[in-house]
A and B are shown apart, each in its own frame.
Chain A
Amino acid sequence: DVKVTQSSRYLVKRTGEKVFLECVQDMDHENMFWYRQDPGLGLRLIYFSYDVKMKEKGDIPEGYSVSREKKERFSLILESASTNQTSMYLCASSAPRVFRQFFGPGTRLTVL
């Protein structure tokens, strides 16, 4: 079974801090995705990556950046956290040419 892990389940940060969210998958998937999930808005794609060192913007990339130095790891970076970035962050991965995505358990980030 695919396993996608995220570095923290809960995180509390202060406005202006730099925040790193880590995601690791163990199935050698090329594709990795970062979403945020908010009530009434559903899952929204922030960034995705099809290969190492490759990244593309999703629907809401503003205020975020990503890093993919190794195939199994995809990091989401909040350069300067703001209160409107309080959300549930979900990482997912999928095999090439396959739509099914496997999700990590999520990180609930609170920015004070």
Chain B
Amino acid sequence: EVQLLESGGGLLQPGGSVRLSCTASGFTFSSYAMSWVRQAPGKGLEWVSGISASGGSAYYADALKGRLTVSRDSSKNTLYLQMNSLRAEDTAVYYCAKNRQPYLFGDAFDFWGQGTMVTVSS
């Protein structure tokens, strides 16, 4: 059974940083591209960042470039998202999501974690 478990969220100060983690199980993690998608309270879904299966290519939403670093550790079956210079508008549930097909990047997301809440407030 595929499982994705996010962690690392919480109440954070504006200007601070956070590192989110997503631990995967139930599939060959190193064969699938992964993404982060966020959802502000009461709002829609927004793709934030993604990384290729090998980890060699990383992609970011234009509005967030420069503040994000996505990475993965296949030895730990874990996906990471480092966010810097946090702003109130970064307040959201952050989901990790698995690509439907192996090795491709552009694709549907067939499994999602339960999300981790990031609240940026002083």
Task: Tell whether A pairs with B.
Answer: no
